[in-house]
Structure 1
């Protein structure tokens, strides 16, 4: 009887160890496949930017022929040096930096406060105001009415045309409202109000510090939008001293394309242009890198807040 029991225990132990080894092998296989997939996905995401960069520092003739694929050839930095010699580019860079910093700061503050107010049940006509903002996501007056409105408000050829229109967004309002309702306990505000705190004190001293993840998310959205925007310059600004970096580079890109077309049509000899002069493709790629680099530098600092803000703001309860 004792022998049968020990044999049974050994057989059970053997089966358990086999299952453990099988599970360990399966887990290792899954991890290998998982890591391989994400490494491949990462390479697919990184390669386009790597491709653009190596083409901006390679021989422009080889780049125009599509011969630069994996590593640079004939390395030089003339493309960047020539782009940085564009007239008024540094002033345009200053305008872009100012509109990005001020626009992002005010958008975050205004959207944060309005989103918080949309959670206040005692706010007069709260539901109507919130639905009014949501309606603007689907209904727009069009470019001409907006242009006439900006003209009446004195925003044409005014730096504030870059700041004021983007301060309030229905999408940002939804994100903040959902985040506050799901992540900020009502008891905090109630206890503060019992101590005599007003709505401003509650927002800036209690709620605002708890909203950092969603505010960082809004900051990323706003900063990227402000930095990349140039159509508002095209439509509403004629003064040269208010042109943004993206608009100046856009004009320069158009001129470079015309130059390349002149060479290809034979109206200008290739020897007259020279291999050191940028081609249309080198202009496009260099401009792309100059515009993208600042966002690359800022995004890693906000990434962890971005992920947390989106996830928490998307789940209620």
Structure 2
């Protein structure tokens, strides 16, 4: 017993050390970006900023919220995220619930077709032509329709319905005269809060960080999401560093402004997700283990 207790203490100490190191590795970049966003850009470029702001300034945030493109991009991203997540979750539920029912004829064949699309697709050019022929270029629908359903998320939700909701409850509801729609909205969904929260988190984070669809399907600047604006700022900062240093004063000013705005935009862009995650963390952890145990 003493050896076992000693071994447990060693194991706990090693775990604590390893987790602390991982925490530092993960947390430091976030801390550095936050500190750099309120520090003097010259101090950041010279490597003087580590854990504490140097030359406290909020110029970056002032320029961010004073920039029309950034504010508009932020609003577009919020719109795409809310609408896209609502469509994603709705269609995932409507696909996963029937596939979880034992009385659905041919459900294994439908599931096989869905899984097939995870490994094989038409490719980017046919997808672009399809979106173009549907008249969705330069519209909000180009941001939310092409990726309306994730097969992987359908599988996760179907597994939850099968393993966490007793089939007898649905049978009892049918005996009482409930239709399939009533069973879904009155019984299944109220008992599925954990998986719905997981789906909201998965889809919302995906929409918030998405920029590839916007890069392909959007050309009108007033429809750009925040991630495209952030990408432009990062590219402008890199181009400023590679420019000829003939006009030293003008170049230095542009470089400082780009550096200040870059860190401020990163904080502003990621803050909503960082605030959302703690409220859904317990559901997120539970969602990871969905399907790993049977019974």
TM-score (norm 2): 0.91
User: Are 2:203 and 1:222 equivalent residues in the alignment?
Assistant: yes
2:276 pairs with 1:295: no
**For 1:146-189, what per-residue CA distance to the aligned partner results, in whole angstroms no more than 9, with x for missing partners?**
01111121211111112222221111111011111111110011
Partners of 2:49 and 2:121 lie apart in 1 by: 45
The residue number in structure 2 matching 1:266 is 245
Query: RMSD of aligned C-alpha atoms?
Result: 2.1
Q: In structure 2, what is the Cα distance between the partners aligned to 1:140 and 1:267?
A: 50
1:47: which partner in 2? 28
Q: Distance in 2 between matches of 1:257 and 1:276?
A: 11
CA positional deviation for 1:40: 2.7
Moved more, 79-88 or 52-61: 79-88
Instruction: State the secondary structure of the residue aligned to 2:291.
Output: helix
* SS of alignment partner, residue 128 of structure 1: helix
Corresponding position of 1:233:
214
Does 2:286 correspond to 1:305?
no
Native 8 Å contact 1:181 1:316 kept in 2: no
Give the structure 2 partner of residue 9 of structure 1. none
| Whole-angstrom CA distance in 2 between matches of 1:172 and 1:166 | 12
SS at match of 1:145: helix
| SS state at 1:172 partner | helix
- Residues 1:179 and 2:160 are matched in the alignment: yes
Structure-2 separation of matches of 1:80 and 1:260? 22
Structure 1 Cα separation of the partners of residues 254 and 235 of structure 2: 19
Residue in structure 2 matched with residue 134 of structure 1 by the alignment: 115
2:224 maps to 1:246:
no
- Which stretch of structure 1 is more off in the superposition, 222-231 or 126-135? 126-135
The alpha carbon displacement at 1:217 in A equals 1.3
1-side partners of 2:246 and 2:215: how far apart?
A: 31
Where does residue 91 of structure 1 map in the other structure? 72
Structure 2: how far apart are the matches of 1:166 and 1:70? 40
CA distance in 2, matches of 1:233, 1:36: 43
Q: Which runs of 5+ in 2 are unaligned?
A: none
Residue 112 (1) aligns with residue 110 (2): no
Quote the offset at 1:35 in angstroms.
2.7
